[in-house]
Structure 1
């Protein structure tokens, strides 16, 4: 509940989003859509560069969680955190598989290959990214995306 000094509209725009999704292609799509909606709440219109960049990073990390991190009976989690001062969005996608971690160095995808470019895209779009163990099981892949000032409020 906002205090009397706080702008109620600003208080309604939480600086984070945390949701769980089924570990399926539909879940990955819903995670991307949730990220775009949240970016809009934070003042970055769906068609803005910031929103499109975050949507692409979320899509790649969610697709990897579904394809490589799926564990029977477990969902994956999306966490977005907005640092307004730094104008940075931290994207975290957590899954239940600790066995399949991103490679220490990114492989080069063959020019005619149908996959293998997801983390290369994340590497280009994010200021930095990495992975960490998740307790009690699994891993979290995170990326920090510079978004600039909100385009709308």
Structure 2
């Protein structure tokens, strides 16, 4: 469970087995549809059931990244992009929004009386790796990877 800030030079080579990208409206409904779509594709591509731990992790991570894109990374009238990659050893979720200047904050424990700000703690807990990338002046991508098989398998 590590967080990485990657530049284009440091970005690992990703050779996806499968890849799919869709745009969703920058609304709560768009975030909800992105989560449902990600889980559907995950189960279709991997053959793992909807109620598997891995599918739940994909649902939670996608929901948080999409929700953050809508809440913190969207400009009026702009969509966000969801990219799903099935890699040889993991499933990668990428959410690209239109606010490159708003990078995800460092993950720290929130005071018990705070009503928000815990979402990235969940991403940290459920993703094996996650981070953000800014490749141009108009967008940023926040990504998370979930292992397909438990360690040691």
TM-score of Structure 1 vs Structure 2, range by shorter chain: 0.7 to 0.9
> Any gaps of 5 or more consecutive residues in structure 1?
1-13
> Any gaps of 5 or more consecutive residues in structure 2?
1-16
1:45 paired residue number: 49
Is residue 68 of structure 1 aligned with residue 72 of structure 2?
yes
Runs of 4+ in 1 over 6 A off after TM superposition: none
* Larger relative contact order (CA 8 Å, sep ≥ 6): 2
C-alpha displacement of 1:115: 1.0
- Choose from 59, 73, 77 the match for 1:55: 59
Q: 1:39, 1:45 within 8 Å by CA — same for their partners in 2?
A: no
With normalisation by structure 1, the TM-score equals 0.81
C-alpha displacement of 1:136: 5.1
Q: 1:22, 1:75 within 8 Å by CA — same for their partners in 2?
A: yes
Aligned CA RMSD, in angstroms, stands at 1.5
C-alpha displacement of 1:135: 3.0
SS in 2 for 1:141: strand
Q: How far does the alpha carbon of each residue in 1:69-118 deviate from its partner, in whole angstroms, 9 at most, with x for none? A: 011221001111011x32x0111000001121112x31321213221111
